[in-house]
Amino acid sequence: MKLTQILLAIIVLSTTVAKAQQIKNTNSFTVIPLGVKGGLDESNLSSYLVAAKGSEQFICLDAGTINTGLQKAVQNKLFIEKNAEIIQKKYINSYFISHAHLDHTAGLILNSPNDIAKNIYALPSVIDVLKSSYFTWKSWANFANEGDKPILNKYSYNYLSADSTIAIPNTSLKVTPYILSHVKPYESTAFLVGNNNSFLLYLGDTGSDTVENSNKLKTLWTVVANKVISGALKAIFIEVSFDNSMPNKGLFGHLTPKLLMQELGILNELSAGKLKNVKIVVTHMKPCENCEPLIMEQLKNANNLGLNIVYPKQGVAMIF
């Protein structure tokens, strides 16, 4: 082979590799956890930024903590911009709230004076709580576009319909909400986030079907099972709030390691045993003395399916 032919072959090969990489990237996600816990430490409560890899337009799934999480992300050099307030304004595209409990909304409410005009997406039952309990002038200034006057019109409520997919402006992301049961009759939400042919599933707080006497998780597992089988579903963010010693009457719509494994066992069966290919990101542990190591130990011991269980850290990026 002549030198020119060899060079040409190298160029063709490297362009092909670059293209394959590009295609891979357009299907991937960057997740930046802004808060990962389910209580106690108010600087680290449920909130996850999600973007298509390479994009700086993040959607914010729950908003328990924003500012401290962004400061941690800056320390970890995840943004060129150094100012957390500017990052919130410029790089958070919109908010998706699973349910209105304070550990999922406090960051949004408290940082609202600093923010710019954006969409808040949630089920009608969740928006009703924001409208009637938080952005009311009694609890906080009404930065939203409906409710108690004067209306400051910064945030626009977008009412989601369960099971209907919407495209998010200025991103390549699509989101489909599914209803979860979080102490009957209260609703929480799972968000299935799609980027082309890849998906992440984020669940807000949820009880197990057995304890809640519900079929919401079974219905969700049935919907996503084909994406587990095809490899399109990359990760499931799901809560474990308490260790196994918590009796059912003390769960208040949350999961333990035992209940999580029961539920994931059902999904694994529906997915032809392929669930071990999906990262299981455990969120929302409620801190108490030694609870977190105990929950991790109990999950490890109950992991007969060989699932890939990971623990998110505040301000540390995850790629899926």
Name the minimum Å distance from CB 45 to Zn ion: 8
CB of 179 or CB of 225, closer to Zn ion: 179
What ranges make up the beta strands (E) of 160-294?
Answer: 166-167, 173-181, 187-195, 198-203, 233-239, 279-283
Query: Of 30-49, which residues contact Zn ion (CB under 5 A)?
Result: 38
CB of 38 or CB of 177, closer to Zn ion: 38
> Which one of 76-84, 94-102, 105-113, 289-297 is the stretch in contact with Zn ion (CB under 5 A)?
94-102
Name the minimum Å distance from CB 252 to Zn ion: 8
**How far is the CA of 215 from the CAs of 99, 207, 209, 246, 263, in angstroms?**
18, 11, 6, 22, 11
Name the minimum Å distance from CB 185 to Zn ion: 14
Name the minimum Å distance from CB 254 to Zn ion: 8
72 touches Zn ion by CB under 5 A? no
Considering CB under 5 A, how many residues would be counted as binding Zn ion?
4
Name the minimum Å distance from CB 269 to Zn ion: 28
Q: What are phi and psi of 36, to 5 degrees?
A: -125, -5
How far apart CA 222 and CA 278 sit, in angstroms, is: 16
Q: How many alpha carbons lie under 13 Å from residue 163 in its C-beta half-sphere?
A: 6
> Which one of 88-96, 128-136, 200-208, 272-280 is the stretch in contact with Zn ion (CB under 5 A)?
200-208
SS3 for 9?
Answer: helix
CB of 101 or CB of 154, closer to Zn ion: 101
CB of 125 or CB of 308, closer to Zn ion: 125
How far apart CA 9 and CA 7 sit, in angstroms, is: 5
CA neighbor of 228 nearest in space, from 174, 276, 286: 276
Among 187, 205, 209, 243, contact with Zn ion (rule: CB under 5 A): 205
Name the minimum Å distance from CB 253 to Zn ion: 7
> What angle, rounded to 10 degrees, do the helices at 67-75 and 84-91 form?
100
Name the minimum Å distance from CB 246 to Zn ion: 15
User: Which two three-digit tokens encode residue 299?
Assistant: 């999950």
CB of 187 or CB of 205, closer to Zn ion: 205
Instruction: Name residues whose C-beta falls within 8 Å of residue 10's C-beta, 6 or more positions apart in sequence.
Output: none
CB of 204 or CB of 315, closer to Zn ion: 204
62 touches Zn ion by CB under 5 A? no
The interface mask with Zn ion, positions 95-114, x = CB under 5 A, is: ------x-x-----------
Other beta carbons within 10 angstroms of residue 277's beta carbon come to 14
- Give the binding site for Zn ion (CB under 5 A): 38, 101, 103, 205
